[in-house]
Amino acid sequence: MRKRYSSFAEIEDDLKILRLKKEVDILSLKTDYQILLKHLSIQNLLSAGITQIRKSLFSKRRSLFFLGLQYVIRRMLK
């Protein structure tokens, strides 16, 4: 639906609002771009990879520990 303006002042006010919205959107895009660059940096990618490897190894080590513990308990109960 089209808005009907009764004066040039109303048009100017809406244009100012649109310009401000555009500036906010541009600043938001710039911020998102900077965050993206930060997340895709070599240092951050390596850090995230190392963290995932540690978690994976820890969970495997923990699983092996409990598997061994179950084996020992079964042997003791026989």
Asked if the model's pLDDT at residue 39 lies above 80, the reply is: yes
Q: Judge contact between 50 and 42, C-beta under 8 A.
A: no
Mean pLDDT for 15-35 is 96
Token pair in block for residue 19? 């310009």
Whether the full predicted model's pTM is greater than 0.75, yes or no, is: no
Rounded to an integer, the average pLDDT of 36-61 is 82
Q: In the predicted model, is pLDDT for residue 1 greater than 80? A: no
What's the whole-number average pLDDT of the chain?
A: 87
